Structure 1
Amino acid sequence: MPEIYTPDEIAEKLKVSEQTIRRYLREKKLEGFKLGNTWRITEKSFLDFIEERSSSNQEK
């Protein structure tokens, strides 16, 4: 079973605020799903997000 994270856990890993992660989710920059009222992010979505960001930074 894949690892599933909360916005707070992702924020801690990326050293950003939880609000930033929630904004990424709302803007669909980071793929997630809601379980009840709480966002959840799969490990694959998190790794895809990092890969997308790091490859776009290398192109600059």
Structure 2
Amino acid sequence: MPKQVGDLVLYSVDDLHKQLGLSKMTIRAYLRDGKIRARKLGVQWYVTEEALREYFGESSKSKSTTVPKKPKNYRYVVKGINDLVSEQEECATIQETISCIEDQAIISLFQVAIIDRDSDEVVELIKARDFLDRHK
């Protein structure tokens, strides 16, 4: 059952699993890869109705929120994708982020959170390898 917080409707992985018929593993992979915008509260992922509309192409601004074009408004946090890697490093620029990723021994254990400086919202969560492919 989706949770209502004020005007916001939040869907959990279980809600999306039941409503969309996708496996929970697939949904979590979409969330980790940044295909669907979501926030993690504790151990539970939550997706807004707006994020679902963007994913299904109903929002005209979906491209601008998933592929940031102006790096000056963003900060980048390189962090481990699981509990095995607890490191986290904040970077101010794309070049600094690339350097930080390249310093890691096993790149596949890291992801990059692209965060809007003004709102502190995670705009995109992307695998470190995909970040390098996009910006090199």
1:4-49 per-position Cα deviation (integer Å, ceiling 9, x unaligned): 0001111222111111100000010010001111100001001111
**So what's the TM-score if we normalise by structure 2?**
0.36
Deviating 4+ runs (over 4 angstroms): none
In the alignment, structure 1 residue 34 sits paired with structure 2 residue 71: no
Q: Which has the higher strand share?
A: 2
**So what's the TM-score if we normalise by structure 1?**
0.77
Q: Which has the higher helix share?
A: 1
Q: Which has the higher contact order (CA 8 A, sep 6+)?
A: 1
Corresponding residue SS for 1:29: coil
The 5 A counterparts of 1:3-14 are: 3-14=9-20
Unaligned runs of 5+ in 2: 1-6, 59-136
**1:17 maps to which residue?**
23
Q: Calculate the aligned-residue CA RMSD, in Å.
A: 1.3
Structure (1 or 2) with the larger CA radius of gyration: 2
Q: How many residues align?
A: 52
